[in-house]
Amino acid sequence: MVSSLIHHHRVLLVFFSALAANANIEVFDVRKFEAVGDGKTDCSKAFLQAFEMACAWEGDAVVYIPLGTYYEGLTIFNAQNNRCTGDDGISLSPSSEDIYIANLTCGPGHGIGVGSLGGLLHEQNVKGVVYSSNVQINNVHYRNIWGTSTTKLAVNFVCSQIVPCQELELKEINLKYNGKDGPVAASCSNARGVTVDQGNP
């Protein structure tokens, strides 16, 4: 079974506060569907119900996941219009794992976001995110990233041969690796861009 732990953090809580002030947006709080952020209770059903109701709402809607750690088994979200809009239409927070997204159109807005990582001590990684689409990824900026990698390959871009990633920017990246199998490394496949003030790798 694919599982994921979703940890919602302060940045999205601020974002929610701004949304809540807008009376034209309907908010679907997963707690009202019996989701419990204890890291143990399976919240798959609650998340799915909140998502389905938000998609059926005639108007702007937000699925709100409060601060906490949520366990979720294999869950398939299937929206009728396959569209995400707004500031971070889909936002992946620390501890999100094994996420597969397909046949989705984003915009207007930021689309799919993986951000605000590394702000807390012992924060969990985001991993296993797969986005399957025919769109091209471009104009993405990675800035001021530093720390220690758990693997020798600290940066790995694998983009489509048909529609390569374009206009990637890596600025002030400084990652260390303390393993015995050599220095920290990076790999890029079908990715084009620039590095600025590059440190390691």
Q: Measured between alpha carbons, how far is 116 from 195 in angstroms, rounded to an integer?
A: 21
**Any catalytic annotation for residue 110?**
yes
C-beta separation of 171 from 143 below 8 A: yes
**In sequence order, what are the beta bridge partners of 146?**
174
Question: Of residues 8, 110, 122, 141, which has the active-site annotation?
Answer: 110
- Measured CA to CA in angstroms, residue 19 lies from 33, 51, 112, 150 at distances of 20, 17, 18, 37
Q: Measured between alpha carbons, how far is 65 from 55 in angstroms, rounded to an integer?
A: 16
Cα maximum dimension of the chain:
57
- Token readout for 115 is 């951000």
- CA 186 centroid distance within chain: 21
User: Annotated active-site positions, please?
Assistant: 110
